Chain A
Amino acid sequence: MVAKKEKFWKQMLRNTISGILEALLVIVIFLYVLPILFNLLLQKYGGGTQVPIEMYSAKYYAILFTVLGLSVASKALKGTIFRPILSSAGNLLAFLYALSFIGTGVITVENIEVSGMLLSVSIDLGIIMIIMFAFFAVPAVAMPFITYFTDEIVKEK
C-alpha cells in the first residue's frame, strides 16, 4: 500500500516536472522565439512594422502564466479526465485572448484628418480569423481529448 502511494507521488512529481519543462519551452517559444520571428518577417516584408506593444502587457503575462499553470496542472493529472479538460480550458483561454485583439473581424479606423478631409478605413479580417480558428482553436481544444481517449482505448486493449 505504502509502495503504491509512493509510486503514485513519484509519478505525479515526474509529470509535474515534465509539465514545468514543457511550460518553459512554451514560454521560450511564445515570449521570445515567435515575437523575434514575427518582427523579422514583418521587417522584411511589412516595411518595418513591429509586434504591437500590447502583446507584452501585464494582461498578456497574466493570461500566459494562467495558461501555463493550467498546462502544468493538466500534466500532473495525467491519466485522469481532468487532464484534457484543464489543457483544453487553458488553450481556449489563450485563443479567446488572441481573438480579443480582432473582435468581430472588422477593424475600423475612423476620423483621421488627411488634407482637410476625414478618413475612415474598415477592413474585414475574415481570413485571419479562419486561419486562427483552424490552426489554433481546433487543434488546441480537440488534441487533448483525442490524446486522452486514444490512450484510454489503447489501455483497454
Chain B
Amino acid sequence: MRFLTILIQVAGVLLLVIAAVPLIQFVETIDGLQITTQVSDNTLVFVFDYNVSAPLKNYTISVYSNGELVGSTDGEVLNQGDVVEIRVPLDRFNPANYTIHIEGSVYGLYKVSVNLTKTT
C-alpha cells in the first residue's frame, strides 16, 4: 500500500511537471508581447504583437487612462504571431497616466492577468 502511495505521488509529480510546462512557456516568453503605438485621425492606435509561445484563450485587452476605460478588445484565442489593435481617442488619453490590462487563460488552463502601468 505504501509503495502504491509513492507510485501515485510520483505520477502526481510527473503530472505537475507536464501541467507546469504551458505556464513556464508563457512566463518565459512574456517579453515577446510587443506593444507599439501609432497616431492617426485623432486616435491613438495600440498595436499588440503577440509573440508569446503559449496561446491565450478568451482574452480581453483593455486600456485605462486616468482610471477610465478608454479602449478595449476581446476574442476567443490569441496565438503566437497574432496582431491586435486598440483605438483610443487622443482627447481621452493621458500618456503620463495609463494602464494596459490583459486578461485570459493560458491554453485555457491558467487564468492570467497582466497589468502594464505608466505613471509619472
List the interface of chain A (C-beta within 8 A of B).
22, 26, 29, 34, 37-38, 41-42, 45-47, 49, 91, 114, 116-128, 131-132, 134-136, 139-140, 143-144, 146-147
Contacts and interface: CB of A to CB of B under 8 A. Distances in A.
B117 interface: yes
A122 B19 contact: no
A132 B71 CA distance: 39
A34 B17 CA distance: 11
Closest 3 CB pairs of A and B: A135-B12, A124-B111, A46-B24
B66 to A, nearest CB: 16
Interface in B12-59: 12-17, 19-21, 23-25, 27-28, 30-31
Given A46-B21, A47-B25, A121-B115, 9 more contacts: A37-B17, A42-B20, A46-B20, A117-B116, A121-B114, A123-B23, A127-B110, A131-B12, A143-B5
Nearest to B118: A117
Contact of B11 (A45, A123, A135): A135
- Looking at chain B's contact residues, is the secondary structure mostly helix, strand, loop, or mixed? helix
Given A42-B24, A46-B28, A117-B118, A143 B2 contact: yes
B94 interface: no
Contact of B6 (A29, A124, A132): A29
Contacts of A47: 24-25, 28
Given A139-B9, A143-B5, A121 B20 contact: no
17 contacts: A41-B14, A42-B20, A91-B5, A118-B116, A118-B119, A119-B115, A121-B113, A123-B23, A124-B110, A124-B111, A128-B16, A131-B15, A132-B12, A132-B16, A139-B4, A143-B5, A147-B1
